[in-house]
Amino acid sequence: MYSKKTVIANNTGLHARPASDFIANATKFKSRIFIKRLDSGDEANAKSIIMLLSLALDKGTEVEIYAEGEDEITAVNSLIDLIDSKFGEDK
């Protein structure tokens, strides 16, 4: 298992469009991937848009992404990079 933490930085948080981008990226990987909201401990399958949106990830929310599988490091790093890029918003 591999994990990394980051903070949601875009002003609108993980609303429908960035959540859709996140899911599209996550589904490219074979590993099982999860995202955890660190302030509440709630977590979701990173490949399920319904579960992801249910976390209500607003700007400033600290999250941990973890994965298990053959491409776990690449998967986690890719999703962390996507979050850290602010999903192309706020530029």
- Active centre residues (catalytic): 15
- Both tokens assigned to 91: 């530029």
Other CB atoms within a 10 A radius of the CB of residue 21 amount to 15
CB 42, CB 62: distance < 8 Å: no
The DSSP-derived string for 22-78 is HHHHHTT-SSEEEEEETTT--EEETT-HHHHHHT---TT-EEEEEEESTTHHHHHHH
